[in-house]
Structures are given as C-alpha cells and as structure tokens.
Structure 1
Amino acid sequence: MSYTIDERNLERQRLLARVLEPLTKRLLDALRLRPDSRCLDIGCGIGETTRLIARYLGPHGECTGIDQDGA
C-alpha cells in the first residue's frame, strides 16, 4: 500500500508536525519508553511522529506506523 498526498498537503502536514513536536516530545518523555519498546502509531499520516518515536527508541526498539490509504 502507498500513501498519496499532494505537495500542498504534504507541506501542511510537515508544518503541523513541527508545531506539535515540543508537545509530542513531552508526551514521549512522560511515557518513559524503554529502548527495547515496540510501538504502533495508528493514523500516522506522513510518518513524522513515527520517525520521532523511532529516534526515541533507538536501534533496539521498533515503531510501526499505519494509516488509512486515501488512494
């Protein structure tokens, strides 16, 4: 499956992720994820938060993002 989004909406999604990133990081800190945690990001959109979670988990964790295919 692929995720289809036009350039304007892509930029809007990226901007939204940047605006919400400080709040998202606070939430991830509060969750106290372990480096070997496994996470599922439901409704991940373009995957910005999924990538942020993956960076928090490091090489031993796992984060999978899923989203409804709009195509």
Structure 2
Amino acid sequence: MTLLDVPFADVRGDTLRWTLAPTPCTPLASRTVDLGSGLTVTLSVLGASHQVLVRRHDRPLLHETIACGIAEAAPLPE
C-alpha cells in the first residue's frame, strides 16, 4: 500500500473520459507486474482516474486511460 499526499479534487463521473489510444499522463503512482513470457502490466493512478498498459516484450498490446481532460476521448461506456 502506498499513501499519496495529493490535494483533494472534486471529480464527477460524467467528466471522466475513456480512450484506448496512447495518452501521455503523469501518474501519481505506478506499479508494473511481470506476468511471465514477456508479458507485463503497468497500472498508473492518475488522481481519480487510472491508466493501464499491457506489453509483451516491451511492445504495447493494450493502452487504456480513464481520466478527465482528454479532449479526443469518449465518455465512459455504459
């Protein structure tokens, strides 16, 4: 467990956006887990949101971001 010292930000769910496009974000904290066979998963906490990157041998397979302020992203799926 990691405690993060960050200021409170009031975020409404309807302001969050979702994208599978690579989106550069500065994380508050990240953790990478090696699943073997060259497969890794990185989970990054972006305040009230997150980013997940799945790689195989350092090649991106999946890049998902849910965050506020991503203009080209879609609203969260139902």
Q: Same fold (TM over 0.5)?
A: no
Q: TM-score, normalised by structure 1?
A: 0.26
Q: TM-score, normalised by structure 2?
A: 0.25
Greater helix percent: which structure? 1
Greater strand percent: which structure? 2
The higher relative CO (CA closer than 8 Å, separation ≥ 6) is in 1
